[in-house]
Structure 1
Amino acid sequence: MSLRKSSSHSLGKKQLKEKIVQIYEQLLQGEDPSLSNSNFWDEFFLLKPKPLVLKTELGNLKVEQLNALKPIIRSLFSHCVAVLGETSSNSHHIKICNAYQTITALVDGVVKVLTQEYSYDLLDALMEFENSTKVVNSLLNHTSIILTGEYPKCVKMSCIHAMLMLMTSTQIVSKNRIMEYIVTSSSFLESIFWLLSRTETRVEFGHDCLIMLALLVNFEKDRPNACAVRLSLVDDPLILNGYSQAITAGLSEFCMQNSVAADNSSGWFHSFTSMVGSMFVTDENGKNESLCGTKVGLLVAFYEAIHLNRNFMTTLANTKTDTSPCNTLAHTVMSPQQLQPSNLLVTFLEYCSLVMQDIKSESRLNLVKLCFIILTCISEDQYANALMSDPHLVFRVQLHRVPMRHRKITLDLAPPMPLVCSLIDLMVEFMMTHLTKRLPYSIYIQSVGVIHHLLCYQKKSRTRINFEWRKLWSAFFTVLKFVLTNEVSLLVKKLDIFALALQIVNIINLFVTFGDTFLMNPTSYDELYYEIIRCQHTFEDLYSLTARYLSSNGEHKASASKLSYSLVNIRAILTHFSPKIDEFLTSQNISTPTEDQIIDVVRNNYDSLTLKILDNLDNFERYNEVPKYASFFTAIVRVMSKDMRKTLESVTIDFTPILTGEQ
């Protein structure tokens, strides 16, 4: 070890070390100072710890050296746990903080030596298998009491950091054997819910509480998980709203940082690219990108609540939110748009509009994929749809739009509207801005699916929302044109363009067949027919595409057949109205009709149009995490755990209140 092996010459005048460092050296030389001093541990926990020194020296050990020091490490860890239960001395707050800091350093240092994929060694190094149940249960019981008791902020913060260090001690959370004990501790889980349910503790610790919950729920997901079951059953409004407000505060902070960056820079695009670039940290080989700064942990916690607990849907539109404790933007002048009533869904939609703008790397793509999975779960829920479609529940959502050559970027000053309108607008924005050679196919499938879910609810509930539907139809037709233009290159990449086109065509069929039940007025229905007729060549080319693949015995024959059948009504519309329009043009002796003239022809010839009733237009396959997304969430949680560990290393806790007696 570097400290104990340093010669007197190399140390020089620096030999006068702090007492705590000298004790670390003794311990890591295998000595037990308590054998010659019965008050050693009392004195030890009153000394200001040096976590960085302890962590560094432990990390420098070889596995053989660490194995030889296991008795000392176990003794130190067990005494740390014992101190947590101490309440008799006047200095017990100081001792508890020092004990948690020591635990954090021990775990961090030992993990650096051991193979991180398996934590059996960590468990054995810290407490020995035979004693693990007793030691961990004692740790969790003391921790639960501290988190819910009358303890200073710094005590609870050091407690939470130590627990997070233990919970993130392996890159794959399901291989962390210490988590087996934590998952089954009802007292620890309830203490997390307790912190979330109270404003003052939620503001301080809400983010970390949600990270812990996300880690617990994702432990061995393929088996029954007590934390997942408990989360699914939460119906206490205080806990549900606290959970929601903690997510909202974190995502709001992200959005606000972007707004401030935009105000302080020469241009919006420059500020956005600078901000996003700083969030995604890449190693020197360009791999293993981090999502630090993107609040990915909050997104996982959001997903788990939405996915597991239907009661959580009731919090989506609640307008009461907390202010982030670490928000450095508190004194920033707020714009009228930022002062509008907000809620979790409003904030989340704005967040999505920011993160979806740059998805060139796999990690950024996965972040947007997670956002769209959350939107998928929301769009499937009947209660959430009712909230979003309520004409009396309107909000102004600021959707950030990517700069493009054909449009100028201005502040989105759209009037308050039902949230479903903003959600559809967000999906349209995504579809229109990501038609590139590296088409994010899976996210296009997700975005079209979200729109389909929303429309199915509109149709079944006969809800009429005041939305500019032409924006949606135009986006659909643009995607179809892109697919036709890039057919070969997309199929070479094994992207099923027929499945994507089928989704879009079925939604158009939904409008054609049932549009009168949810479009705001007959004019919208007329405009739909006009847009179909205007894009006649696109649909003819799409039908020709299916015909080519139907005539072969290739792998796409089945999906081409489905797409071909779904075009039957659109082809009927084109076949019916094209000659009518030609007759009108001939009779009026004009070559280029106006939109109004085409719509007049359509209105006058509806009665003679015959369409088929297509089955299952308003049905969809509900979201299932397993098996499709199981590996995806394993990877996301791995990134979340790694980023949390990185964050813990940079966080400093202010212990001044307990040192000065200001408790």
Structure 2
Amino acid sequence: MHFEANDDLLKGKQRAQSLKVGMKEKVVQLYDRHFSGEDISGGSDSFWNEFFLLRANVRYLQAHFERCAWDELACQKPAIRRLFGHCTAPLQNHPAMGQDAIRQANALQTLASLIRGAFSCPPTAVAAAEAAAVVGGGGVSVNVGDVDEQQMDSQRPNHPNLDLLMPPNDAESIMQDLLHRLACCLSDDVVQLPIKALAINLLVTMATACDLQYNPMLSYLVSSRVVQDALLLALFEALHVNRSFIATLTYSHTPSAGHQLVVAEQSGPASSVPEPTNLLVVFLEYCSIIMQDTREQSMFNSCKLCFFILTAISEQTRHRAPTLGVDLESAPLACALLDLLVEFCHSHLMRTLPAELYQSALLILHRLLCYQKRTEIRLHYNWHHLWSALFTSARYALSCYQKQPVGTAEPQFLRSLLSLVSSVCLLLNFFVTYGDTFLPTCEVYDLLFYELIRMKSLFEDASQLSLSIISSDPDHPLREAAMQLDRSLVNIRSIIQHFSPRIDEWAEAQGQRSLTQDQVLSVVRSNYESLTLRLYSQLDCFTSFRESIPNENAYFRQLTRKIVTSVRKDAFDASQQLQAKLKDLSSL
């Protein structure tokens, strides 16, 4: 009797399981049949049009990849590739209305799920070693920051996770076609906003598929100029018209595969370290790549738009703690942004100084400092690096000005150089006036005065230049810019003139020709009380970026025309290629 009860219980469970299987929604049943290798289309040409009218089950797709081992996914590779390929077809329908819009929405969600799922499973050591062998051994990582766009096409390694989605030999054409269709979607005003949001989500998924150093999709994104500009413009528009979108960037985290594809020297499994990725961190990493080369006008425009976006974000800065690795485990996003600005200042000291971009970087820094002062958050950061970047930028701007041929240089360029030095001096005044409210310790504030005194020659050169322009000609075209520079130097001159004689006197009394940093700081601390400084008005205020946007109408008009022209050209080229293929087929 005991055994019969168990038999009845077992039969009940089996009936429940069969009933549960029978209750699977249609799209899930189709997923299972497709991944098992069955041709679910039955040879029907219209099947996939009907398939993408079914709502994509994102959770089920993600769960499928999570429960399958790498060897199982490798066996399902043909089915995964076919589904990935069919997902791109609905994206070519523009404008997408009615059922076409439904197909596009489901296709975009399916693509994102396939990419996220394919990169969520770390490959076996054998698969990783095979990928490494394709590129000559030693690993398959690609540091996008170390190669330029011309080199990227030839240096993209074979990646086993990407191999799940597409054949390696066809990856270039498949990715370019997909990115072209996404660019069309983002740049078309007729496309509905939900579809654009899903397109942006797909691009973010591609950018965060795995760690930056090992992401094979990121190189395609970086090399696609049309997609970059269209995506940046869409992101800027989202920030401009919706203030709450800034909170989405700074507070939300996207689940990332996060596994680092590492090939052991002998044999061993690839390491997998899943980490959440903050959306703003992804954008900062992207900006760092874009900023590396601004010599070409297209890259200059993209970098300028990145700075516009960062300016809009910095007006409502939020401190979050992203996982950046290295030493910034508990650092707020403000530190990552400061690092980005320091990197830019040090890496763009070229013959034709991009003064406009430098001004944009300093505007972002000013907004960030205003937030620090307003909230009185003591930010633990290596401020010496930032001050060094400001000093270097100002010195190089003065050097560029002095090297300009007399009478032949453009007044606008010279004016921008003087304005750049003025902006640096005003930021240093901000530190002097309000630094005690946000610098981490009194010692860091003292170090600021030490650095200003140490850079005495820089400010003397700037003062002499401004005074020479002011006294030369009342109608000098740069007179107003020189007067602005002279006003910004008042406090810095006072600091140097106040402390320098006292330091010399102390050195003479001690019989020392040179002093250590600690000795100079001791003199500075003992002479603060007698220092008199000017209080600049509205030093902690700035013009809202929304109010300054109309001044950039020409830039945005030019950028939009460029995107539209590029998309039309790519569409024409694609049409020509298709006609050529059809002609070849007809001759068979």
Equivalent residue for 1:633, pick from 556, 561, 569: 556
1:395: Cα distance to partner?
A: 2.0
Summarize the Cα distance change of 1:522–1:539 in structure 2 as closer, same or farther, 3 Å threshold. Answer: same
Map of 1:536 onto structure 2: 456
Matched, 1:461 2:375: yes
* Superimposed CA distance per residue, residues 382-407 of structure 1 (whole angstroms, 9 cap, x where no aligned partner): xxx1x2x2xxx322437xxxxxxxxx
Aligned equivalent of 1:306 = 239
| 1:504-526: CA deviation from partner (whole Å, max 9, x where unpaired) | 11111111001111111111110
* Structure 2 residues without counterparts, runs of 5 or longer: 1-40, 57-82, 116-177, 264-269, 579-588
Equivalent residue in structure 2 for 1:366, among 301, 310, 325: 301
Q: Secondary structure at the match of 1:342?
A: strand
**One-letter amino acid of the structure 2 residue matched with residue 573 of structure 1:** I
Cα distance in 2 for residues equivalent to 1:507 and 1:190: 50
1:162 aligns with 2:110: no
The Cα shift of 1:429 comes to 0.6
1:561 equivalent in alignment to 2:483: yes
The match for 1:451 among 359, 365, 371 is 365
Q: Is the 8 A contact 1:213 1:301 kept in 2?
A: no
- Aligned equivalent of 1:342: 277
Match of 1:248 in 2: 204
Q: Which of 347, 353, 369 is equivalent to 1:439? A: 353
For 2:463, the aligned partner's letter is Y
**1:513 match: secondary structure:** helix
Deviation at 1:613, TM superposition (A): 0.9
Aligned position for 2:515: 593
How much has 1:527 moved relative to structure 2?
Answer: 0.5
Give how far 1:299 is off.
2.0
Question: Are residue 584 (structure 1) and residue 511 (structure 2) matched?
Answer: no
Structure 1 residues 261, 626: closer, same or farther in 2, change over 3 A? closer
Q: 1:337 to 1:490 in 2, by over 3 A?
A: farther
1:394 to 295, 316, 321: 321
Does the 8 Å CA contact 1:96/1:155 hold for their aligned counterparts? no
Letter in 2 for 1:472: L
* TM value normalised by structure 2: 0.64
Distance 2:230 2:510 in 1: 64
1:501: which partner in 2? Answer: 421
Higher mean C-alpha deviation, range 492-501 or range 595-604? 492-501
- The verdict on how the C-alpha distance between 1:191 and 1:524 changes in structure 2, with shifts beyond 3 A counting, is farther
Q: What is aligned with 1:65?
A: none
When residues 447 and 255 of structure 1 are mapped into structure 2, their CA distance, relative to the original with a 3 A threshold, is farther
| 1:251–1:348 contact (8 Å) kept in structure 2 | no
> Residues 579 and 320 (structure 1 numbering): CA distance in 2 closer, same or farther, change over 3 Å?
closer
For 1:440 and 1:188, locate their aligned partners in 2 and report how far apart those are by CA, in whole Å: 48
With over 3 angstroms needed to count, the CA separation of the structure-2 counterparts of 1:431 and 1:490, relative to structure 1, is: farther
Percent sequence identity over aligned pairs: 31
- Indicate how the Cα distance of structure 1 residues 192 and 592 shifts in structure 2: closer, same or farther if over 3 A, else same: farther
Question: Of residues 194, 214, 217 in structure 1, which corresponds to 2:186?
Answer: 214
Q: Cα–Cα, structure 1 residues 533 and 323, in superposed 2: closer, same or farther, change >3 Å? A: closer
The verdict on how the C-alpha distance between 1:246 and 1:310 changes in structure 2, with shifts beyond 3 A counting, is farther
**Equivalent of residue 620 in structure 1, options 504, 526, 542:** 542
Letter in 1 for 2:89: S
Provide the residue aligned with 2:80 in structure 1: none
Q: How far did 1:358 drift?
A: 1.8
Distance 1:323 1:650 in 2: 33
Asked if the contact 2:185–2:196 (Cα under 8 Å) also holds between the matched residues in 1, the reply is no
- Which one-letter code corresponds to 2:346 in the other structure? M
Residue matched to 1:316:
249
Per-residue deviation, residues 220-250 of structure 1 (Å, max 9, x unmatched): xxxxxxx8xx96xx9xxxx999677434223
SS at match of 1:317: helix
| 1:543–1:160 Cα change, 3 Å | same
User: 1:417: Cα distance to partner?
Assistant: 1.2
Q: 1:242 to 1:456 in 2, by over 3 A?
A: farther
Code of the aligned partner of 1:368: C
Higher mean C-alpha deviation, range 509-518 or range 340-349? 340-349
- Residue in structure 1 matching 2:225, options 288, 291, 299: 291
**Cα distance, 1:572 vs. partner?**
0.9
The SS at the match of 1:321 is: strand
Q: Which residue of 2 is the match for residue 94 of structure 1?
A: 45
Instruction: Describe the SS at the equivalent of 1:94.
Output: coil
For residues 599 and 538 of structure 1, do their structure 2 counterparts lie closer, same or farther at Cα, with a shift above 3 Å needed?
Answer: same
Query: What is the CA–CA distance in structure 2 between the aligned matches of 1:535 and 1:573, rounded to whole Å?
Result: 12
Say whether 1:484 aligns with 2:398.
yes
Equivalent residue for 2:140?
none
The RMSD of aligned alpha carbons is: 4.2
| Matched residue count | 433
Pair 1:605-2:555 in alignment: no
Separation in 1, partners of 2:321, 2:90: 41
1:350, distance to aligned residue in structure 2 (A): 1.2
Match of 2:388 among 441, 449, 474: 474
Aligned to 2:174: none
User: 2:158 maps to which residue?
Assistant: none
Structure 1's 565 and 199: CA in aligned 2 closer, same or farther, altered over 3 A?
A: same
Residue 214 of structure 2 contacts residue 260 of structure 2 at CA under 8 Å; is this kept in 1?
A: no
* Change over 3 Å in CA distance of 1:188–1:509 after alignment to 2: farther
Matches within 5 A, 1:42-81: none
